[in-house]
A = this chain, B = another copy of it.
Amino acid sequence: MAEGSLQHELNSIPPTDPAVDKLVEEIIGRVADKWTMLLIEILTEKKCCRFSELARECEGISQKMLTQTLRALERDGLVTRTVYPVVPPKVEYRLTELGLGLSKAFCGVWLWAEANFDTIEKARADYACKQEG
């Protein structure tokens, strides 16, 4: 954990016009979601998944949210949905190049969370202590 150069790349983003900002924020809002992040992680690991496999891997998700989240991902061009005309039906989901790019971006957040969850736990405990006093 280097203590110097805390100015990181965020500051180097050129000031974009407000219209683009709105779009970017909307995308962040859509994409920065628990199920979205989880599904992208699963699809990154497995490369290719059937609906039922995603339902199994993505523990706790309801069928409704799974369908809904996958549709949003498909709509945004982050995953492809391939239907095989067989009985019983078979549908495969796979990340696109765009989706893989997002996966990489998310990776940093996952790594941060894994590296710091204990620090956060401690911070919460401290905060709870102070509240009691």
Binding site for B on A (CB under 8 A): 1, 3, 6, 8-11, 13, 16, 20, 23-25, 27-29, 31-34, 37-38, 41, 44-45, 74-77, 97-98, 100-117, 119-124, 126-127
B108 close to A104 (CB less than 8 A):
yes
A119 close to B98 (CB less than 8 A):
yes
State in angstroms the CA–CA spacing of A112 and B27 once bound together: 10
Known: A13-B114, A111-B9. Is A37-B28 also a contact (CB below 8 A)?
yes
**Helix, strand, loop or mixed for chain A's interface?**
helix
A127 close to B74 (CB less than 8 A):
yes
Taken together, the copies of this chain in the complex come to 2
Question: B residues within 8 A CB of A11?
Answer: 44-45
State in angstroms the CA–CA spacing of A34 and B26 once bound together: 9
Q: Which residue on B lies nearest to A109, using beta carbons?
A: B105
- The list of the 9 closest CB pairs from A to B, nearest first, reads A77-B123, A105-B112, A32-B32, A105-B108, A29-B34, A10-B107, A105-B109, A108-B108, A75-B127
